[in-house]
Amino acid sequence: MIAIIDYGMGNLRSVQKALEYLDVPSKITSDIEEIKNSSKIIIPGVGAFPDAMENMKKMGLDIVVKEEAKKGKGILGICLGMQLLFEESEEIIKCEGLGLFKGSIKKIKGNVKVPHMGWNNLIFEEDCRLLYGVKEGSYVYFVHSYYAEIGQEKILNAYTLYDRKIPGIVSKDNVFGMQFHPEKSGDCGIKMLKNFGEL
């Protein structure tokens, strides 16, 4: 059973519906024991980084996610959930994240519309198990105003160009992040969720 973490922010049901389509058992939960007993963890989310971290800390979810990551459990952060995996964010105020990846979350700037909203293609960088069977150049659906400025090598798996390199997929060992919404990204997004479910 995959635990979809409910920390009071997010687009939880659409992720669960995509897993139901794949016949992958999942449960939306904030219960620490259920999360510990799950096979994998998904951290979805839309909204502001500081609010998300405040909610996670109040509920003890930050600690359980870091503990389960250390144990080698598969963890996937989606959209805001991916951003929370990094060390810090500059959204609204400087705020500490979960620190599973090195780097910080920055505001998208330049001669582009913000929020970045719509379909963009993925350019592959480093091999990743989420990308098995996915063609380079596949289009996925983004909705965000902040992006990850990565502070370590070899974790960027795929990116899109939106005035700059916008990380689309990051991973290290058992921890994965997607800036886009796989549950809204058609067949290739569903394929990536299937790959995560089969890890």
Residue range 67-111, pLDDT digits in tens: 999 999 999 999 999 999 999 999 999 999 999 999 999 999 989
Number of separate domains in the chain: 1
Mean pLDDT, to the nearest integer, of 57-73?
Answer: 98
Q: Give the CA count within 13 Å in the CB-facing half-sphere of 143.
A: 13
Can you give the residue range of the structural domain that contains 107?
Answer: 2-197
Is pLDDT of 11 > 80? no
Is residue 112 scored above 90 in pLDDT? yes
CATH number of the domain at 163, please.
3.40.50.880
Residues designated catalytic: 79, 181, 183
Q: Given the DSSP bridges, would you call strands 156-161 and 146-150 parallel, antiparallel or unpaired?
A: unpaired
Helices (H), the chain: 12-21, 32-37, 49-59, 61-70, 80-83, 186-197
The amino acid at 125: E
pTM of the predicted model as reported, rounded to 2 decimal places:
0.97
Token pair of 104, please? 């910080």
The pLDDT of 148-177, averaged and rounded, is 97
